Amino acid sequence: MDEPAIELSGISKSFTGVPVLRDVSFRVHAGSLHALLGGNGSGKSTTLKILAGVHHADPGGAIRVHGRRYDTRGYSPAMARAAGLRFVHQELGLVPDLTVSENFALDGGFPRRYGSAVAWRALHRSTQEQLDRAQVPVDARTPVRKLRPSDRTLVAIARALRDNDRGRHITLVLDEPTASLPQHEVGVLLRALRDCRDSGQTIIYVSHRLTEVLEIADQISVLRDGAVTVDIPASRASRADLIEAMTGAPIAPSARRGPEQANAVGPAVLQVQGLSAGALRCADLQLAAGEVVGLAGLVGSGRTSLLRALFGDLPVRAGTVMLDGQVVTIRTPADAIELGIALVPEDRADDAAFLDRPLWENVTAASTNDYWSGWRMDRGRERSDAAALLDRYDVRAPSADTPFAAVSGGNQQKAVLARWFHRSPRLLLLDEPTQGVDAAARADIHRFVRAQVTGGSAVLVASSDAEELAELCDRVVILREGCTSAVLSGPELTEARIFQLVQEDWSELDAPEK
């Protein structure tokens, strides 16, 4: 592990005169797993694009790959690939309706026989050999859409490593490989990566999940404001140290209420009895004002179904919903909003945003009725209120006119939250509220949620992240096969206990709906 597989020396980059990277230098040793961390806007993505040849660094720096030095001005994607760099992004680049073999062939070509006919047997055989060599337990003839999420990621990795058997030095760059995986699948992937590293494979690992990084990495480099702030062995790092290196400030205290606040909750806001909707079969729970309650369970347990049913986005088959002691019927999202219920869905891009519209319009999208004045909209007041909300919730963008799609995931999520916080909801429903955001944005979001419940709201959080639930929630409801199976609170509310109860319902294949 002394030989550097990758070395960046003095890499800087500016866009239109604005510095994005400043003298970035670090080494990735051969046969190691090197984690690259950084918050939104830290320069992490720009570093990866320079390494891939997509962006050219400013003159003066150097890139070395497996001992060969490259001038950054002429370095290209073709040169990066020829040097042995292989990138697997969060979007895996697999075609779901094609088999694993066909997806391999899209990247490497279809073998031919008799001139033009595809040699299918040869393709399946060679693909299976590569899968077996990478210890990926899938059949090459299986359509990708039938694979578990973790197996799809492993297939993409095996495809990236196919040149290893040709005597090539391959360095694998993984960008957020676990971001879209359910928690019980994350361990499968991490074990496979550990085996891959132990067999001599060099891996650069980019992730927002610090617990995973500390578990699997050999070396950690942290970027903040375009510069390397920490470059240390993982054995010497702690979660608190990494957050401070990423944010420039010590880790904030836990958002969860202490024992002295145990009775500082108000009357019951929500009572659910025997609710059945979607994957949900029989859910019971109670939620008080000033309280954050979490929902934990495997994919198919009914977490998302419960939130959607409460927001009127999923028909209720049976059961009772009470708000402030009154039985209510919620048939549409408009009914839910009228009752003071708000939902931040898991997929903000498809379900919560107008991607090509400016941030200020996205923030006020749920409150447009407030800005009618006679027969016209008071756009000036709407825009002014939106700017104040963006500032209050630390949504960082060049201006309020910046398109929603042009800001980072963490800032997008804070903008969606600001939209609903502006309405002071009685009941706030959050589905995977910090998925795909960095540690700093996660801490901000938790702080904003806590401020909301201090103001009298009640919050219901569905998350596949046991660490987040233990950190943020006052109680956690465990859902199993669509029913409430346990409730954790007090000293029992720990990440390990949540994970244990959820894993008791572990299944081989994901159900079609959460």
CATH number at residue 285: 3.40.50.300
373: left (phi > 0), else alpha (psi -120 to 50), else beta? beta
- Compute the distance between CA of residue 6 and CA of residue 326 in angstroms, rounded to an integer: 63
Listed residue (212, 208, 243, 234) closest to 34, CA to CA: 234
- pLDDT tens by residue, 389-413: 888 888 888 888 888 888 877 888 8
Mean pLDDT of 183-211: 81
**What rounded mean pLDDT belongs to the chain?**
82
Where are the extended beta strands (E) located within 176-297? 202-206, 219-224, 227-233, 268-277, 280-288, 292-296
Domain count, the chain: 3
- Compute the distance between CA of residue 182 and CA of residue 235 in angstroms, rounded to an integer: 27
331 and 259, same structural domain?
Answer: yes
pLDDT exceeds 70 at position 510: no
317 and 198, same structural domain?
Answer: no
Q: What is the pTM of this model?
A: 0.62
Percent of the chain residues topping a pLDDT of 90: 18
234 and 294, same structural domain?
Answer: no
Domain that holds residue 138: 95-168
Burial label, 81 (beta-carbon count in 10 A; 0-12, 13-18, 19+): middle
Mean pLDDT of 41-60: 85
Which of 138, 168, 198 is a domain's end point?
168
pLDDT exceeds 70 at position 108: no
So what's the pLDDT on residue 166?
Answer: 47
Helical spans, DSSP H, in 83-235? 100-108, 120-133, 149-160, 183-198, 210-216
Q: Specify the pairing of strand 85-88 against strand 18-29.
A: unpaired
193 and 152, same structural domain?
Answer: no
Of 251-255, 273-277, 320-324, 414-418, the least confident? 251-255
76 and 116, same structural domain?
Answer: no
Listed residue (387, 341, 390, 388) closest to 366, CA to CA: 341
Which residues, at least 6 apart from 132, have a Cβ–Cβ distance to it below 8 Å?
none
Residue 370 in any domain: the answer is no
Residue 90 in any domain: the answer is no
- Compute the distance between CA of residue 99 and CA of residue 346 in angstroms, rounded to an integer: 28
The band of 509, judged by pLDDT with boundaries at 50, 70 and 90, is very low
Mean pLDDT of 437-460: 87
Helical spans, DSSP H, in 70-109? 77-82, 100-108
Which of 123, 147, 168 is a domain's end point?
168
Residue 389 in any domain: the answer is no
The band of 383, judged by pLDDT with boundaries at 50, 70 and 90, is confident
Which residues, at least 6 apart from 482, have a Cβ–Cβ distance to it below 8 Å?
276, 279, 280, 281, 282, 283, 300, 301, 302, 305
Q: What angle do CA 173, 174, 179 make, to 5 degrees?
A: 165
- Compute the distance between CA of residue 235 and CA of residue 221 in angstroms, rounded to an integer: 13
Give the single-character DSSP code of 358: B
The band of 494, judged by pLDDT with boundaries at 50, 70 and 90, is confident
Q: How far, rounded to the nearest angstrom, does the alpha carbon of residue 377 sit from its chain's CA centroid?
A: 37
Of 30-39, 93-102, 495-504, the least confident? 495-504
- Compute the distance between CA of residue 71 and CA of residue 56 in angstroms, rounded to an integer: 10
Which of 168, 191, 219 is a domain's end point?
168
Listed residue (172, 201, 205, 4) closest to 85, CA to CA: 172
The band of 505, judged by pLDDT with boundaries at 50, 70 and 90, is very low
Q: Specify the pairing of strand 341-344 against strand 427-431.
A: parallel
So what's the pLDDT on residue 100?
Answer: 84
So what's the pLDDT on residue 512?
Answer: 40
Of 8-17, 73-82, 504-513, the least confident? 504-513
**Do residues 61 and 11 lie in contact, with contact meaning Cβ atoms separated by under 8 Å?**
yes
148 and 5, same structural domain?
Answer: no
The band of 272, judged by pLDDT with boundaries at 50, 70 and 90, is very high
What's the farthest any 2 CA atoms get from each other in the chain?
Answer: 79
71 and 41, same structural domain?
Answer: yes
- Compute the distance between CA of residue 157 and CA of residue 202 in angstroms, rounded to an integer: 12
Beta bridge partners of 234: none
Q: How far, rounded to the nearest angstrom, does the alpha carbon of residue 233 sit from its chain's CA centroid?
A: 25
331 and 290, same structural domain?
Answer: yes
So what's the pLDDT on residue 271?
Answer: 92
- Compute the distance between CA of residue 441 and CA of residue 409 in angstroms, rounded to an integer: 9
